[in-house]
A and B are shown apart, each in its own frame.
Chain A
Amino acid sequence: QVQLVESGGGVVQPGGSLRLSCAASGFTFSPYGMHWVRQAPGKGLEWVAFIRYDGLYKYYTDSVKGRFTISRDNSKNTLSLHMNSLRPEDTAVYFCARDNTGEQPYYFDYWGQGTPVTVSS
């Protein structure tokens, strides 16, 4: 069955960096677009970033542009999110989610359990 397992979350100081990973299994990873979605404590869901199946196109919500980088390694079935210049408002649970298609977002059909990130001094 499809599994998405996030890792890499933790506590980091403002201005610091963190790298999240999402290990995919139970399906052929390379044809699917992938997303990161986050949820701040007690708040709603927020779309963060999308990467096309081949990794050639990447899209971000405005608040993370220039600070976060989404990437993927299709040989290792892994999605990553490199987060730099972290701010307290980046504190959230970060979910990876598979898109049902490969080239442009359509909908999220599978979700991981999430990994928590806390940005605090």
Chain B
Amino acid sequence: QTVVTQEPSFSVSPGGTVTLTCVLNSGSVSTSHYPSWYQQTPGQPPRTLIYGTDTRCSGVPARFSGSILGDKAALTITGAQADDESDYYCVLYLGNGISVFGGGTKLAVL
């Protein structure tokens, strides 16, 4: 069974930099998995941040960036702000129409 793993929780100081990762148990994450990232606050639908590994959606601040780091997909927040405190999810496309979410990372800014 394919599992996508994210750090369950992370904390960052205001103004600091944090990198969240997305690991595929069956092998390396590549651009062919079309990694995308979503931000969600309680009671709200997700907000799309990054798609196609590293492309920011319209209106997403430049402090959010996506990349492949080694064998993982990564979301980096540079200069974290208080309202970045949210849950973050990655999604990988496995082929044959199948997508899978990571378990999510709860980010605290404190």
Listed in ascending order, the chain A residues whose CB lies under 8 Å from chain B are: 35, 37, 44-47, 50, 57-59, 61-62, 95, 100, 104-109, 111-114
Residue of A with least CB distance to B2 = A62
Known contacts A45-B40, A107-B34; A50 and B97 CB within 8 A of each other: yes
Which B residues are in CB contact (< 8 Å) with A114?
45
Contacts of A44 in B (CB 8 A): 87, 89, 101-104
- In contact, B46 and A106 (Cβ under 8 angstroms): no
* B3 within 8 Å of A (CB atoms): no
CB of B91 within 8 Å of the partner chain:
yes
A107 and B97 form a contact (CB under 8 A): no
Interface residue from B57, B97, B103 paired with A105 (Cβ < 8 Å): B97
Please indicate the chain A residues that have their CB under 8 angstroms from the CB of B52 in the complex: 106-107
Question: Contact between B101 and A47 (Cβ–Cβ < 8 Å)?
Answer: yes
Identify 30 residue pairs between A and B in the complex whose beta-carbon atoms are under 8 Å apart, listed by A's number.
A37-B46, A44-B103, A45-B46, A45-B89, A45-B104, A47-B91, A47-B98, A50-B99, A58-B97, A59-B96, A59-B97, A62-B1, A100-B51, A104-B93, A105-B93, A105-B97, A105-B99, A106-B34, A106-B93, A107-B36, A107-B48, A107-B52, A108-B36, A108-B38, A108-B91, A111-B45, A111-B46, A112-B45, A113-B45, A114-B45
